[in-house]
């Protein structure tokens, strides 16, 4: 019988892609999800608003910019509440994605980039076809919202 090989961390590290995402929470405790439009990779899959951090941009600055571009809302960096992060191998790159909660903003979120928007109850998240890297967010968000339910 051959011995169990030692556990190692030798997988090759890929280029890190820094992406930021926001979980917008409305007054009824619903969260905003966006469906990627035709013509993009993973069209039809659901994700959270956000996008890539550009060179010389802070994650918070990038997220405020993306929320303006994608949803037409104005958010303040100080209202972005760090929630968790995703760090996962996506094949050609390694995704590092800080995720923030946001409960205050100016304006009404509107689709500016052909994405379909939906406000959903946190319990409904698990029924969506979310981008695979986002799946660990489902139990974390469920646990977060359970803390506030009676
Ligand atoms: N905005 C956002 N991006 C996510 C999430 N989860 C996740 O894996 N991503 C990945 O992070 C990257 C975000 O890039 P992006 O939003 O600026 O670009 P994109 O995919 O719309 O355009 P692209 O096809 O040119 O990369 C994509 O590779 C996307 O698949 C998420 O919840 N929100």
Query: What domains lie within the chain, and their CATH numbers?
Result: 17-148 (3.90.79.10)
The model's confidence at residue 150, banded by pLDDT at 50, 70 and 90, is low
Distance 47 CA to ligand 1 centre (A): 8
Entry pTM: 0.92
Ligand 1, atom nearest to 41 Cα: 24
Q: pLDDT tens across 21-61, in order? A: 999 999 999 999 999 999 999 999 999 999 999 999 999 99
Distance 4 CA to ligand 1 centre (A): 38
Distance 145 CA to ligand 1 centre (A): 25
Q: pLDDT tens across 78-122, in order? A: 999 999 999 999 999 999 999 999 999 999 999 999 999 999 999
Residue in the structure block whose two tokens are 């917008």: 24
Distance 29 CA to ligand 1 centre (A): 25
**How far is 21 from 95, CA to CA, in rounded Å?**
12
The burial class, CB within 10 Å (0-12 / 13-18 / 19+), for 141 is buried
Query: Which pLDDT value is given to residue 7?
Result: 72
Note whether 98 and 110 are within 8 A (CB).
no
Q: Tell the residue nearest (CA) to atom 25 of ligand 1.
A: 40
The model's confidence at residue 2, banded by pLDDT at 50, 70 and 90, is low
Ligand 1, atom nearest to 93 Cα: 28
Phi, psi of 113 (to 5 degrees): -130, 35
Query: Which pLDDT value is given to residue 148?
Result: 73
Ligand 1 pocket by Cβ (under 6 Å): 19, 21, 40-42, 47-48, 50-52, 95, 131, 133-134
**How far is 70 from 68, CA to CA, in rounded Å?**
6
Q: pLDDT tens across 71-84, in order? A: 999 999 999 999 99
Write b or e for each residue in 104-137: b if 16 or more Cβ atoms lie within 10 A of its Cβ, otherwise e: ebeeebeeeeebebeeeebeebeebebbebbeeb
């Amino acid at each position: 019988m051959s011995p169990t090989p030692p556990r190692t961390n030798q997988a090759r590290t890929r280029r890190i892609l820094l992406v930021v995402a926001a979980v917008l929470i409305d007054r009824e405790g619903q969260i905003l999800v966006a469906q990627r439009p035709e013509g993009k990779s993973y069209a039809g899959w659901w994700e959270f608003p956000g996008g890539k951090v550009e060179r010389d941009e802070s994650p918070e600055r990038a997220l405020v910019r993306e929320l303006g571009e994608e949803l037409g809302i104005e958010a303040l960096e100080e209202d972005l509440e760090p929630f968790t992060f995703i760090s996962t191998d996506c094949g050609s790159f390694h995704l590092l994605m800080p995720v923030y909660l946001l409960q205050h903003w100016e304006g009404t979120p509107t689709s500016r980039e052909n994405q379909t928007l939906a406000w959903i109850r946190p319990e409904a998240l698990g029924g969506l076809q979310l981008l695979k890297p986002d799946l660990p967010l489902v139990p974390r968000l469920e646990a977060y919202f359970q803390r506030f339910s009676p």
